[in-house]
């Protein structure tokens, strides 16, 4: 059995490693970063920048804990070196793991040449691989609208901002989804003036309004300007910076602007037609619940598959594909359920959720029990001088089974794992209550919300 993987992000890496562990002969072809251009080029650097912003916020917060410290300043060159080092370490670690499993790693740009052949353009020339199974996991890249010309300097996409050449005096962030609000938080924490263009009346339009309200309150406290109900339609460079024009006639002047308006799949150049695979209207490769395309031995995963664009989801798809390649689906196994994927937004406070959302349950007319505990009642949150946010648990009133939950507050991205296990495993609220969390910890709020 020979398995060829195109693209070495979380989806491709995991599929290659796990398939090799299961005894498959694997080749992984990557044109850029082993570990993923979106993963190691965007996800990790953005979190590293947020960690530095968080350190700055911490310095401000500890004044309330009796510590008098200098406000802190950020050295952009040190920050750049740190981010480059983290990414390089992770790339080396990925390569080590792949090689330890005897995965052949090929540096090059790959495409299909029929249903069982992959061709890679490498520095040494073209190489051809015959395959019994193929994974397309080529990821995505930031979307740039026709009305903006990115210049890496003043008009940026996310990858230009880790960190930019200089800290913006006034950054105008376009797009108020997850990426947009994380960058607002990041640059506001670093001391920049920030304006966020919000096309609707709420940041994070897909999220629970109560959750979005906590974030908006934090932005207001930090002096972030929100331009609501405005859609950006043009960006103009001026000698001093940029002007962003909106569809309602308003415009904002800033020193820099950052486009956070989604991503597009890397599906061109793969010669999918040679294997009879079509793209959907968004340019994604359609898959079934085993991540198979219309050609059963050709799989697609990660951002290219148009499911949830998260590293965690890509990784799990990769794992399931490896098992499917060796016929693991014929024994008892759990299907990947995208509805149960936890997700987090690394703002301050952090926001995380999993499973059924309260608003969706109401929209469906579904009976639910909602219990909520604020962190203001948590001894640990008070000790840490950060009592913002809450834990909300949604359960089935008849059975007590946990259906979903939201956490807003410090370490929400870690705490949500408990609810993730509960939702995936069908645990009841009583199981959480009886788990006896350590005292004093933020986890106690989970038990209290489950009461
Ligand atoms: C700013 C930002 C922050 C994010 N933060 C988070 C986060 O906090 N948590 C989270 O879970 N997710 C986050 N994401 C999303 C996450 O990065 C992606 O969902 C994830 O990386 C997708 O994995 P992938 O394997 O599909 O793609 P990628 O990680 O992009 O990997 C695909 C790889 O395929 C390679 N490739 C493409 N075409 C070819 C070809 N023809 N031949 C060979 N190689 C090819 C690319 O070079 C790339 O390395 C973030 C994304 C962005 C933009």
Task: Write the pLDDT tens digit of every residue in 227-284.
Answer: 999 999 999 999 999 999 999 999 999 999 999 999 999 999 999 999 999 999 999 9
Does 30 sit in the ligand 1 pocket, CB within 6 Å?
yes
pLDDT score of 61:
83
For ligand 1, atom 19, the nearest C-alpha belongs to 310
CATH class assigned to 155-261: alpha beta
Token pair for 16:
């290659």
Residue 389 near residue 374, CB atoms below 8 Å: yes
Helix-, strand-, coil-residue percentages of the chain, each rounded to 5? 35, 25, 40
pTM: 0.95
Distance 36 CA to ligand 1 centre (A): 5
Measured distance CA(447)–CA(436) in Å, rounded: 8
- CA 352, 356, 360, 362 dihedral sign is negative
Does 317 sit in the ligand 1 pocket, CB within 6 Å?
no
Rg (CA), the chain: 23
Quick: pLDDT tens for 126-177. Answer: 999 999 999 999 999 999 999 999 986 899 999 999 999 999 999 999 999 9
pLDDT score of 226:
97
CATH of the domain spanning 2-142+264-330, picked from 3.30.70.600, 3.30.365.10, 3.40.50.2300, 3.50.50.60: 3.50.50.60
Does 318 sit in the ligand 1 pocket, CB within 6 Å?
no
The reply to whether omega before 349 is within 30° of 0 (cis) is yes
pLDDT score of 229:
95
Q: Which residue matches tokens 């203001």?
A: 376
Burial classification of residue 1, based on how many CB atoms lie within 10 Å of its CB (0-12 exposed, 13-18 middle, 19 or more buried): middle
pLDDT score of 209:
86
Does 427 sit in the ligand 1 pocket, CB within 6 Å?
no
Domain ranges of the chain: 2-142+264-330, 155-261, 349-450
Distance 92 CA to ligand 1 centre (A): 17
Token pair for 175:
């797009």
What kind of architecture, by CATH, is found in domain 349-450? Answer: 2-Layer Sandwich (3.30)
Measured distance CA(301)–CA(48) in Å, rounded: 26
pLDDT score of 368:
97
For residue 118, which phi and psi values (nearest 5 degrees)?
A: -120, 135
Residue 299 near residue 321, CB atoms below 8 Å: yes
Sorted by sequence, the CB contacts under 8 Å of residue 147 that are 6+ apart come out as 232, 233, 234, 235
User: Which of 15, 39, 186, 342 should be mutated for ligand 1, with most atoms under 8 A from CB?
Assistant: 39
Measured distance CA(257)–CA(447) in Å, rounded: 43
Residues of the chain with pLDDT under 70: 152
Atom from ligand 1 closest to the CA of residue 311: 11
* Exposure letters 42-52 (e unless 16+ CB within 10 A, then b): bbbbbbbbbeb
Distance 387 CA to ligand 1 centre (A): 34
Q: Which residue matches tokens 């050449």?
A: 165
Does 413 sit in the ligand 1 pocket, CB within 6 Å?
no
Domains 2-142+264-330 and 155-261 in one fold: yes
For ligand 1, atom 6, the nearest C-alpha belongs to 43
pLDDT score of 73:
87
């Amino acid at each position: 059995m020979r398995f060829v993987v195109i693209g070495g992000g979380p989806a491709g890496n995991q599929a290659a490693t796990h398939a090799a562990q299961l005894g498959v002969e694997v080749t992984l072809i990557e044109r850029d970063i082993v570990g993923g251009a979106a993963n190691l080029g965007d996800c990790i650097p953005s979190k590293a920048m947020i960690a530095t912003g968080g350190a700055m916020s911490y310095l401000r917060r500890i004044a309330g804990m009796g510590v008098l410290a200098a406000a802190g300043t950020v050295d952009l060159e040190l920050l750049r070196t740190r981010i480059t080092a983290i990414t390089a370490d992770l790339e080396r670690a990925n390569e080590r793991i792949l090689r330890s499993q005897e995965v052949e790693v090929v540096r090059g740009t790959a495409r299909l040449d029929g249903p069982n052949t992959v061709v890679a353009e490498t520095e040494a020339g073209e190489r051809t691989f015959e395959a019994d199974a193929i994974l397309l996991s080529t990821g995505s890249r930031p979307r740039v609208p026709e009305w903006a010309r990115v210049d890496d300097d003043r008009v940026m996409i996310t990858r230009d901002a880790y960190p930019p050449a200089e800290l913006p005096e006034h950054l105008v962030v376009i797009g108020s989804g997850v990426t947009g609000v994380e960058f607002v938080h990041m640059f506001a924490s670093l001391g920049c003036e920030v304006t966020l263009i919000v096309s609707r009346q709420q940041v994070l339009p897909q999220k629970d309004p109560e959750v979005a309200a906590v974030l908006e309150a934090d932005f207001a406290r930090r002096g972030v300007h929100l331009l609501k109900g405005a859609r950006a339609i043009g960006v103009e460079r001026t000698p001093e910076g940029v002007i962003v024009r909106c569809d309602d006639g308003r415009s904002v002047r800033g020193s820099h602007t950052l486009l956070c308006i989604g991503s597009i799949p890397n599906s061109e150049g793969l010669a999918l037609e040679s294997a009879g695979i079509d793209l959907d209207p968004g340019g994604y490769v359609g898959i079934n619940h085993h991540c198979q395309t219309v050609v059963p031995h050709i799989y697609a995963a990660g951002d290219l598959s148009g499911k949830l664009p998260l590293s965690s989801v890509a990784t799990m798809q990769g794992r399931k594909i490896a098992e499917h390649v060796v016929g693991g689906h014929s024994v008892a196994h759990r299907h990947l359920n995208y509805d149960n994927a936890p997700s987090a937004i690394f703002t301050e406070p952090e926001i995380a959720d999993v499973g059924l959302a309260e608003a969706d349950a109401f929209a469906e007319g579904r009976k639910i029990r909602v219990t909520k505990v604020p962190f203001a009642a948590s001894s640990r949150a008070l000790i840490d001088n950060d009592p913002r946010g809450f834990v909300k648990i949604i359960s089935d009133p008849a059975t007590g089974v946990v259906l979903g939950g939201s956490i807003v507050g410090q370490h929400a991205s870690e705490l949500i794992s408990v609810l993730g296990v509960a939702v995936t495993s069908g645990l009841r609220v009583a199981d959480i209550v009886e788990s006896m969390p350590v005292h004093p910890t933020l986890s106690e709020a989970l038990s209290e919300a489950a009461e």
